[in-house]
Amino acid sequence: MGATGSIGSAALDVIARHPQRFRASVLTANTQVNELAELCRRFEPELAVIADAKLESALRTQIEAAGLRTRASSGAAALVEAAAGDDCDTVLAAIVGAAGLESTLAAARTGKRVLLANKEAIVMAGPLLLDALRIGGGDLLPVDSEHNAIFQCLPGGRPDLARAGVRRILLTASGGPFRGKKRPELATITPDQACAHPNWRMGRKISVDSATLMNKGLEVIEAHWLFGASAAQIEVVVHPQSIIHSLVEYNDGSVLAQLGNPDMRTALAYALAWPGRVDAGVAPLDLLALARLDFEAADLDTFRCLGLAYRALQAGGTTPAILNAANEVAVAAFLQGSLPFLAIAELIEATLDAQPGETLVNLGQLVYVDLTARQHAQRIMRTSFC
């Protein structure tokens, strides 16, 4: 799900290295119809889905011209059906934002192995996703490099932390392109500057989230649901080299860390092959060439989005969904040039203040809360920031 994005491309590279073990049987994309058609020619899936229904005809035409037997479909319902259908037993959930929620839940309910790259799905609907996994009986494996690292450092992947003797989880953050800068230096930041991550090649939305540290805030909420850790047990540590992907500290003083070059194929290969391991095509880590590994505290005064994420986690219920919706609106506006970089956090905070959270009950309620939060954010942006 999200085959043409950076995560999808990295996963397909791993899959192509092991044709006897893996097959990309379903490929989906949002609007990149030519790219999706090219992937169909290369991987010959059973099914290809383009989210934009207006592009289905173009997709079908290219598939037929290539002489492929791949079925073509389109629309939001088709994405959900693809995730739940019989054409696959493993689903890589890599659709960006809230748009990936329903397909991720559908895959979980039908017992698939879900490789979770869409952190927004678990941020918005953590209890619903865990319930869906219990119903389906499948596996949930994190693909975010940080959560994948934690998974590797815990006995059994997702144990009871108290019984396992875990004291805290240390999420590493690169600090993004503006590490070390203060608020006055960020007043005139452009989208291209925010998307110029020093270590990782990512899409523009997640790149901006990394620049504001909201990406790390979403990962804090994700770690809570994935591993049953309280907010107090999850600490963010800035590690600019992005070599240690995260750490787990135990009651006996031991700290286990997972290290590797900053390449998403490591986490993807681990999730695809779990509980085994396969070659990911990633260069070996040269410890002698590293020379040093640095760590520093996160600057919550400058990068306020991280603190807002902790606030949403502690509030619980639908508040993380409100946080996510406001962030998506704010980031989209920033990328379009209609909202200053520093106003991203201000708009999110104003939206949280305007819309109190409530107990999370079901998906229908969550969809309504998400829509309402977006409307609040849009209205606040028009009246206060434009």
Binding site members for Mn(2+): 144, 146, 219
Whether residue 198 has pLDDT greater than 90: no
- The C-alpha atoms of residue 142 and residue 131 are separated, in whole angstroms, by 17
Instruction: Provide the sign of the torsion angle of the four alpha carbons 184, 188, 192, 195, taken in this order.
Output: positive
Q: What pLDDT, on a 0 to 100 scale, did the predictor assign at position 206?
A: 85
Predicted confidence (pLDDT) per residue in 83-93, tens digit: 999 999 999 99
**Exposure letters 221-242 (e unless 16+ CB within 10 A, then b):** bbbbbbbebebebbebbbbbbb
Q: What pLDDT is stored for residue 141 in this prediction?
A: 96
Please give the pLDDT value at position 98: 79
Question: Is the distance from CB of 33 to CB of 50 less than 8 angstroms?
Answer: yes
Sign of CA dihedral 335, 336, 337, 343: negative
The count of C-alpha atoms lying within 13 angstroms of the C-alpha of 168, restricted to the half-sphere facing its C-beta, is 12
**Among 372, 268, 291, residue whose Cα is nearest residue 10:** 268
Write out pLDDT tens, residues 93-108.
Answer: 999 877 889 999 999 9
- Residue 340 confidence (pLDDT) above 70: yes
pLDDT of residue 196: 83
Binding residues for NADPH: 4-7, 118, 120, 203
Q: Which contiguous run of DSSP H or E holds residue 28?
A: strand 26-29
- Residue 156: DSSP 8-state: T
The percent of residues in the chain predicted with pLDDT above 70, rounded, is 99
Q: In percent, how much of the chain has pLDDT > 90?
A: 87
∠ CA 136-142-143, rounded to 5°:
130
Tokens of 301: 């005064």
The residue-averaged pLDDT of 12-34 equals 97
Orientation angle between helical segments 363-380 and 101-109, nearest 10 degrees: 170
Residue 385 is predicted with a pLDDT of 76
Q: How far is CA 2 from CA 130, 204, 237, 310, in A?
A: 22, 14, 30, 28
| Binding-site residues | 4-7, 118-120, 144-146, 174, 197, 203, 210, 215-216, 219
Rounded to 5°, the CA angle 76-360-137 comes to: 65
Mean pLDDT of the region 31-51: 97
Tens-place pLDDT, residues 273-312: 999 999 999 999 999 998 889 999 999 999 999 999 999 9
Dihedral of the alpha carbons of 141, 142, 147, 151, in degrees to the nearest 10: 10
pLDDT at 202 over 80: no
Is the confidence at residue 365, as pLDDT, over 70?
A: yes
Amino acid in the structure at residue 199 = N
Q: Of 7, 66, 73, which is closest to residue 37 (Cα–Cα)?
A: 66
Binding residues for 1-deoxy-D-xylulose 5-phosphate: 119, 145-146, 174, 197, 210, 215-216, 219
Question: What residue ranges define each of the domains in the chain, with the CATH number in brackets?
Answer: 6-138 (3.40.50.720), 156-262+285-311 (no CATH), 316-381 (1.10.1740.10)
Tokens of 355: 């819309």
Amino acid identity of residue 136, one-letter, is G
> How far is Cα of residue 288 from the mean position of the Cα atoms in its chain?
32
CB atoms near residue 163 (< 10 Å)? 8
- At residue 159 the predicted structure's pLDDT band, cuts being 50, 70 and 90, is confident
When pLDDT is averaged across residues 121-134 and rounded to a whole number, the result is 93
Helix (H) or strand (E) holding 295, with range, is none
- Residue 200 confidence (pLDDT): 66
